[in-house]
Amino acid sequence: MTSIYYLIGIGFVFGLSAWLLFLWAVRSGQFDDPEAPKYRMLDDDDEAETPNRTPSRPETTNEKNGAACD
């Protein structure tokens, strides 16, 4: 009979700790927007990821005849 009291106590401790863990997760913002991550992969981020680079050497003249390129 005493083992059932231990099991009830252990169940109460596990239940209380799970509830406290859930409250901590809610307050820390873990459940703020559950829908956004699945749509984030569909965003076109190519423009944001590519930095504006200048070419290593300017291409202002055509090397074959020395004329300016458009």
Whole-angstrom CA distances from 63 to 20, 52, 55, 70 are 72, 25, 16, 13
Provide the residue range defining the domain that includes 6. Answer: 2-41
Residue with tokens 């099991």: 7
Residue 66 lies in a domain: no
Residue 69 lies in a domain: no
Residue 67 lies in a domain: no
Q: What are the residues whose beta carbons fall under 8 Å from the beta carbon of 48, sequence distance 6 or more?
A: none
Counted domains in the chain: 1
Residue 47 lies in a domain: no
- pTM for the structure as a whole: 0.47
Residue 19 lies in a domain: yes
Pick 27 or 67 by higher pLDDT: 27
Helix (H, G, I), strand (E, B) or coil at 36: helix
State the pLDDT at residue 49. Answer: 57
* Interval 19-54: pLDDT, tens: 999 999 999 988 888 788 788 888 876 665 555 666
